[in-house]
Amino acid sequence: MRSKYTALQISLHWLVFLLVAGAYAAMELRGLAPRSYRPLINAIHVTCGLSVFVLMIARLLVKMKYRAPAIIPKPHPAITGLSHLIHTIIYVMFIVLPVFGFLTVYFKGHEWTVLGIPMPHAPELDEDRQFSVKEIHETIANIGYFVIGIHAFAALFHHYVWKDNTLLRMMPGKKNRG
Q: Which residues bind ligand HEM (CB under 6 A)?
A: 13, 16-17, 20, 23-24, 27, 45-46, 49-50, 52, 63, 68, 83, 87, 90-91, 94, 97-98, 101-102, 104-105, 134, 137-138, 141, 144, 148, 151-152, 155, 166-167, 169-170
Distance in Å, CB of 77 to ligand HEM, minimum: 13
Q: How far is the CB of 50 from ligand HEM (least distance, A)?
A: 5
Listed residue (39, 75, 37) closest to 154, CA to CA: 75
Q: What's the closest the beta carbon of residue 35 comes to ligand HEM, in angstroms?
A: 12
**Nearest alpha carbon to residue 26 among 13, 15, 16, 40:** 40
Shortest gap between Cβ of 123 and ligand HEM (angstroms)?
A: 18
Q: Whose Cβ is closer to ligand HEM: residue 92's or residue 124's? A: 92
Query: What is the distance between the alpha carbons of residues 92 and 86, in angstroms, rounded to a whole number?
Result: 10
